[in-house]
């Protein structure tokens, strides 16, 4: 590797345009003759649509068209598909209700799409939508996860017996039960993993155009994976030929999972663009985003840990009910199963684990992947249990973890829940975290805080993540309806400049820099000579996109494969140019050399020869220097880390302050530490947000979204957070060419448990032993009062 680019905090190349206000986000694009769409959404959580009268809206000024579910149905528009089939324990496929892009017959959550109005201006479309008369027969609704399967719970889908989508399980139940029978101690917790609203600061937006001359559609959309959107929309929803549709995701203002999914608006606009014959644009208002972006988390769990007298884990039993919302969003079904229960071993050698997950329908927005997707939920369960067990057994949180860590000699290590971890060194990250967090000085800090009347607490979380979901064949056998590879194309131009096409997508992660570092390093060319292209189905061969921290591990590996092909071919060309045997050619830092001589050609000269093949082995190889590769990983990658949070609580107000937060992560090799640290910071903010601030609430009676704006949904702001202490300790991944693991979700996975463990550590002296997220001042204060009353009684 060329040490001058890999592993260096190279400043981001994309920043220049963002800092000057020259980013090109979907809403920044303008097209001649464009029209505006407004979506009329359901005001009810559950209602039958008796009739819809659009005549007044159609007659309103500026209105070009109004469409409802009936229009889509008449045109054979299909259902928004779900990308992962989960098989129920009874052997049957999960219940898969239709998900029409515009409601047909019934609405099933507040915000469900009812009709679209297309007009000359947005205000005209919005005003006209008010004139649509929908005759609703309101019906009772169920929004709460724990109530979805109650015998009297209103059914979300009439065609099914109840609101159960699937019951799924993993692990050896009998062996786990036996382990519990042998246990000296059992720790048990009831946990709620709070529902979250992703809230990328750029709201979702889309613009659809139809070109009759070419009979071709173009959709600009705020997506993390434009090829996936094209495939799902063409093959399942609109029945359009894929080669007649271009999907572009230009600059995208954050995703965190919420922009993976194929949304109704994308399909409706694309379909309507041909009917209307003009470009149609739509940008969600923030209040629409709250209602209609797929939400995250929302689990209710009972978890038990069986231990022996030394505090060794003997078994873990987990029962989770996961809220899927009213319809199955694109990857909703795999998040609380495949991406959750497989992570329950954490960093520990727990020999027996059994987990059962019930996915339920409710009258709420669809729930799908949100930063970490299943892994934060798993880590929260494991790390709350472990720390609770430590308290009950009188062990320190550090000691109980050390007694149960998978030792570094044990890798590769197969867990009882289906994964094989390739590398790790959990003691090392924990040691470093304890040092950075000055755990040794904590007792003194706690005393000092007590003098000021404050409660100080320390909490740990040692998490494991599985990134770069793979391989396709295994995922397929587990129900995935898609492949999980990535593509990359490397094009050397005749002048030696390089254009790279990646199926990954950057919506803040900095691919234009990191991927260019990888390419510049491998080819030995200046980074300025490399351009990274992503996000356009007409330019990039194919792509699964960016989610689950897969970009560098899978997308980067695909590029490495393409680069290998470039270098292989270049060696042949160089051998010809240097009149040497191919076997005698070595490549280093941009130069092909005949081993042991000073005869050499640069990669630029080789590229020129490839395009101007006058002195070239044409009988042996084709001209040109352009290679494509698809990479399907053989395994997940397993980032891991140790997080330590220190909090201070004011018992008078219940307000929790993060006094310090330390994160030490193992991401394997790191291409750009500056960018990686930035990813950790962002993840931590979201994880701390979940633990202390954020909570999506539906009113259980009316089914209305109570937290539908920034006034009611508490986003982490600058003064809610501290500066973070961060370090890394990498054990390179053993099965991808870069040795990288992925870092995007880490902070959001490890932080919630660390914060909650710290809060409980602070409150334990008062007798508080349990609290659910978010630990808002109100909740903390109430817990303190309750504990006081209990102790007085």
Partner 1 sequence: MKVSMTVNGRPVEAEVDPRTTLVEFLRKHLNLTGTHVGCDTGQCGACTVHLNDRAVKSCSVLVGQAQGAAVTTIEGIAEDGGLHPVQAAFREHHGLQCGFCTPGMVMMAIDLLRNDPAPSEATIRQQLQGNLCRCTGYHNIVKAIQAAAATMAATEPAPTQMKEQLA
641 binds, among ligand FES, partner 1, none (CB under 5 to 8 A by kind): none
Strand, helix or coil for residue 346: coil
Which of 2, 87, 211, 287 touches partner 1 by CB under 8 A? Answer: 287
Tell me how far, at minimum, the Cβ of 20 lies from partner 1, in Å.
6
- For the CB of residue 34, give the shortest distance to ligand FES in the complex, in Å: 22
DSSP-derived 3-state class of residue 210 = strand
The interface with partner 1 within residues 183-212 (CB under 8 A) comprises 199-203
Q: Does 130 interact with partner 1 (rule: CB under 8 A)?
A: no
For residue 493, count other CB atoms closer than 10 A to its CB. Answer: 16
Beta carbon of residue 396, minimum distance to partner 1 (angstroms, whole number): 29
- Does position 528 interact with partner 1 (CB under 8 A)? The reply is no
Tell me the per-residue interface mask from 380 to 419 with partner 1, x by CB under 8 A, - otherwise: ----------------------------------------
Note whether 231 and 243 are within 8 A (CB).
no
Which partner from the list partner 1, ligand FES, none does 154 bind, CB cut-off 5 to 8 Å by kind?
A: none
Structure tokens at 55: 């005549």
Q: Is the CB of 15 or the CB of 308 nearer to ligand FES?
A: 15
Report how many helices (DSSP H) and strands (DSSP E) the chain contains, helices first: 19, 28
Among 40, 82, 245, 252, binds partner 1 (CB under 8 A): 252
- Given 1, 4, 19, 75, the residue binding partner 1 (CB under 8 A): 19
Write down the least CB distance from residue 746 to ligand FES, Å. Answer: 17
Give dist(CA 604, CA 615) in Å, integer.
Answer: 15
Task: Tell me how many residues contact ligand FES (CB under 6 A).
Answer: 4
Least distance from C-beta 202 to partner 1, angstroms?
Answer: 4
Interface residue with partner 1, options 8, 14, 235, 481 (CB under 8 A): 14
Query: 449-455 contacts: CB < 8 A, separation 24 or more?
Result: 449/648, 453/650, 453/651, 453/652, 454/648, 454/649, 454/650, 454/651, 455/648, 455/649, 455/650, 455/651, 455/762, 455/763, 455/765, 455/766
To partner 1, the closest distance from the beta carbon of 546 in angstroms equals 12
Nearest-10 crossing angle of helices 603-611, 557-578: 80
DSSP state of 91: S
Least distance between ligand FES and beta carbon 549 (Å): 17
Distance CA 602, CA 583 (A): 17
CA-based nearest residue to 203, from 293, 101, 102? 293
Instruction: Name the minimum Å distance from CB 279 to partner 1.
Output: 15
Please say which residue, 94 or 252, places its beta carbon nearer to ligand FES. 252
Instruction: Choose the binding region for partner 1 from 33-41, 88-96, 582-590, 672-680 (rule: CB under 8 A).
Output: 672-680
Binding partner of residue 698 among ligand FES, partner 1, none, CB cut-off 5 to 8 Å per kind: none
Rounded distance, CA 208 to CA 272, Å? 8
* Minimum distance of ligand FES from residue 200's CB (angstroms): 7
Q: How far apart are CA 617 and CA 600, in angstroms?
A: 17
> Pick from ligand FES, partner 1, none: which does 20 bind, CB < 5 to 8 A by kind?
partner 1
Q: Residue 424: which of 312, 343, 339, 347 has the closest Cα?
A: 347
Q: Residue 429: name the closest of 668, 689, 154 by CA.
A: 668
Q: Which two tokens stand for residue 604?
A: 């630029």
Pairing of strands 530-534, 585-588: unpaired
Q: Give, in order, the Cα–Cα distances in Å from 148 to each of 153, 162, 696.
A: 6, 9, 17
Q: For residue 217, give both structure tokens.
A: 């559609």
Instruction: Give whichever of 253 and 311 is closer to ligand FES, judged by the CB atom.
Output: 253
Nearer to partner 1, 11 or 778 (CB): 11
Question: Which residue of 216, 349, 402, 681 would you call a contact of partner 1, by CB under 8 A?
Answer: 681
- Interface characters, 695-734, with partner 1 (x: CB under 8 A): --------------xxx---xxxxx-x-xx----------
Is the Cβ–Cβ distance between 561 and 737 less than 8 Å? yes
Closest listed residue to residue 750, CA positions, set 462, 335, 406: 462
* Cβ at position 253, least distance to ligand FES in Å: 6
Per DSSP bridges, beta strands 35-41 and 280-283 are: parallel
Q: What mask of x and - would describe binding to ligand FES in positions 182 to 221, judged by CB under 6 A?
A: -------------------x--------------------
Q: Which of 281, 386, 363 is nearest to 36 (CA)?
A: 281
CA angle 114, 115, 121 (to 5 degrees): 140
Minimum Å distance from CB 332 to partner 1?
A: 21
23 binds partner 1 (CB under 8 A): yes
Indicate whether 293 belongs to the interface with partner 1 (CB under 8 A). no
Q: Which of 253, 416, 654, 739 forms a contact with partner 1 (CB under 8 A)?
A: 253
# chain residues binding partner 1, by CB under 8 A? 58
In angstroms, what is the minimal distance from the CB of 195 to ligand FES? 21
Joined together, the tokens standing for residue 65 give 């068209």
Residue 364 CB contacts under 8 Å (≥ 6 apart), including other chains: 45, 109, 143, 195, 295, 323, 325, 326, 698, 703
* Distance of alpha carbon 750 from alpha carbon 383, whole angstroms: 9
> Which range touches partner 1 (CB under 8 A), out of 164-172, 279-287, 380-388, 483-491?
279-287
Q: Which of 81, 254, 483, 767 binds ligand FES (CB under 6 A)?
A: 254
- Work out whether 685 is an interface residue with partner 1 (CB under 8 A): yes
Sheet holding 455-464, edge to edge: 455-464, 640-650, 655-666, 725-728
Identify whether 471 is preceded by a cis peptide bond (ω within 30 of 0). Answer: yes
Helix (H, G, I), strand (E, B) or coil at 333: coil
- Name the residue whose CB lies closest to ligand FES: 201
Of 226, 503, 508, 683, the one binding ligand FES (CB under 6 A) is: 508
User: Of 346, 510, 639, 774, which one interacts with partner 1 (CB under 8 A)?
Assistant: 510
Question: How far apart, in whole angstroms, are the C-alpha atoms of residue 766 and residue 787?
Answer: 7
Q: Are strands 133-138 and 245-248 parallel, antiparallel or unpaired?
A: unpaired
Handedness of CA 389, 392, 395, 398 (dihedral sign): positive
What is the closest distance, in whole angstroms, from the C-beta atom of residue 283 to partner 1 in the complex? 8
> Which residue's CB is nearer to ligand FES, number 508 or number 545?
508
Shortest CB 508 distance to ligand FES, Å: 5
11 or 539: CB nearest partner 1: 11
Q: Which of 18, 411, 442, 611 binds partner 1 (CB under 8 A)?
A: 18
Which is nearer to partner 1, 254 or 617 (by Cβ)? Answer: 254
Q: Give the strand order in the sheet containing 185-196.
A: 164-171, 352-361, 313-325, 296-307, 185-196
Whether the CB-CB separation of 300 and 334 falls below 8 Å is answered with no
DSSP reduced 3-state for 763: helix
CB 67, min distance to partner 1, A: 24
Q: Can you give the binding site for ligand FES, defined by CB under 6 A?
A: 201, 253-254, 508
Contact positions vs partner 1 (CB under 8 A): 9, 11-12, 14-23, 25, 27-28, 30, 123, 199-203, 251-254, 256, 283, 285-287, 507-510, 674-675, 677-678, 681-686, 709-711, 715-719, 721, 723-724, 747
């Amino acid at each position: 590797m060329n040490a001058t680019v890999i592993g260096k905090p190279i400043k981001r190349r994309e920043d220049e345009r963002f800092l000057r206000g020259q980013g090109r986000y979907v809403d920044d694009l303008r097209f001649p003759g464009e029209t505006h769409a407004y979506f009329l959404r359901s005001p009810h959580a559950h209602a039958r649509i008796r009739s819809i009268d659009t005549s007044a809206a159609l007659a309103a000024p500026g209105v070009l068209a109004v469409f409802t579910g009936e229009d889509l149905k008449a045109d054979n528009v299909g259902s928004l598909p779900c990308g992962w089939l989960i098989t129920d324990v009874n052997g049957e496929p999960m219940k898969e209700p239709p998900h029409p892009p515009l409601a047909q017959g019934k609405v099933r959550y507040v915000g469900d799409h009812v009709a679209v109005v297309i007009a000359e201006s947005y205000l005209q479309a919005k005003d006209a939508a008010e004139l649509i008369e929908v005759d609703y027969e309101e019906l009772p609704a169920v929004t709460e996860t724990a109530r979805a399967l109650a015998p009297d719970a209103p059914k979300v889908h009439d065609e099914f017996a109840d609101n159960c989508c699937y019951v799924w399980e993993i692990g050896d139940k009998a062996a786990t039960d036996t382990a519990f029978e042998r246990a000296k101690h059992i720790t048990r917790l009831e946990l709620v993993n709070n529902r979250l609203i992703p809230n990328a600061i750029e709201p979702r937006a889309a613009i659809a155009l139809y070109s009759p001359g070419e009979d071709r559609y173009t959709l600009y959309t705020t997506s993390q994976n434009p090829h996936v959107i094209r495939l799902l929309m063409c093959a399942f929803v609109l029945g359009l030929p894929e080669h007649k549709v271009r999907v572009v995701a230009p600059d995208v203002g954050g995703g965190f999972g919420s922009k993976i999914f194929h949304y109704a608006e994308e399909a409706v606009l694309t379909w309507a663009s041909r009917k209307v014959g003009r470009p149609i644009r739509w940008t969600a208002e923030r209040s629409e985003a709250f209602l209609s972006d797929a939400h995250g988390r929302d689990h209710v769990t009972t978890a038990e840990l069986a231990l022996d007298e030394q505090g060794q884990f003997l078994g873990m039993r987990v029962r989770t009910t996961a809220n899927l919302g009213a319809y199955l969003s694109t990857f909703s079904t795999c998040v609380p199963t495949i991406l959750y229960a497989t992570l329950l071993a954490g960093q520990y050698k727990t020999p027996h684990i059994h987990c059962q997950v019930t996915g339920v329908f409710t009258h709420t927005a669809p729930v799908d992947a949100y930063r970490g997707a299943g892994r934060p939920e798993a880590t929260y369960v494991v790390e709350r249990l472990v720390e609770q067990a430590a308290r009950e057994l009188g062990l320190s949180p550090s000691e109980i973890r050390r007694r149960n860590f998978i030792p570094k000699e044990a890798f590769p290590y197969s867990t009882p829940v289906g994964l094989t971890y390739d590398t790790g060194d959990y003691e090392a990250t924990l040691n470093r975290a304890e040092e950075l967090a000055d755990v040794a000085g904590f007792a003194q800090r706690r005393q000092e805080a007590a003098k000021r009347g404050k409660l100080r607490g320390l909490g740990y979380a040692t998490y494991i993540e599985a990134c770069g979901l793979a391989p396709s064949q295994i995922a397929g056998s587990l129900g995935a309806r898609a492949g999980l590879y990535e593509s990359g194309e490397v094009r050397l131009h005749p002048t030696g400049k390089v254009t790279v096409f990646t199926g990954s997508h950057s919506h803040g992660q900095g691919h234009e820099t990191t991927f260019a570092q990888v390419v510049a390093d491998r080819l030995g060319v200046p980074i300025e000579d490399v351009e990274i292209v992503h996000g356009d189905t007409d330019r990039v061969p194919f792509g699964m996109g960016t989610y689950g921290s897969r970009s560098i591990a899978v997308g980067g590996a695909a590029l490495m494969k393409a680069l290998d092909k470039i270098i292989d071919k270049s060696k042949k060309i160089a051998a010809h140019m240097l009149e040497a045997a191919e076997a005698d050619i070595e490549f280093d830092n941009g130069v092909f050399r005949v081993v042991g001589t000073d005869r050499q050609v640069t990669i630029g000269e080789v590229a020129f020869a490839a395009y101007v093949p006058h002195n070239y082995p044409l009988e042996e190889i084709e001209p040109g220097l352009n290679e494509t590769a698809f990479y399907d990983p053989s395994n997940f990658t397993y980032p891991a880390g140790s997080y330590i949070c220190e909090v201070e609580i004011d018992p008078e107000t219940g307000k929790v302050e993060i006094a310090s937060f330390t994160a030490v992560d193992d991401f394997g090799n790191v291409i750009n530490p500056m960018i990686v640290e930035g990813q950790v910071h962002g993840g931590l903010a979201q994880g701390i947000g979940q633990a202390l601030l954020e909570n999506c609430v539906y009113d259980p009676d009316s089914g209305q979204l109570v937290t539908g704006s920034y006034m009611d949904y508490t986003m982490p702001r600058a003064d809610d957070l501290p500066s973070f202490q961060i370090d890394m300790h990498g054990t390179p991944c053993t099965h991808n060419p870069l040795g990288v693991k992925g870092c995007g979700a880490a902070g959001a996975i490890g932080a919630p448990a660390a914060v909650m463990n710290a809060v409980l550590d602070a409150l334990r002296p008062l007798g508080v032993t349990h609290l659910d997220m978010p630990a808002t001042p109100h909740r903390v204060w109430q817990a303190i009062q309750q504990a006081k009353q209990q102790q007085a009684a």
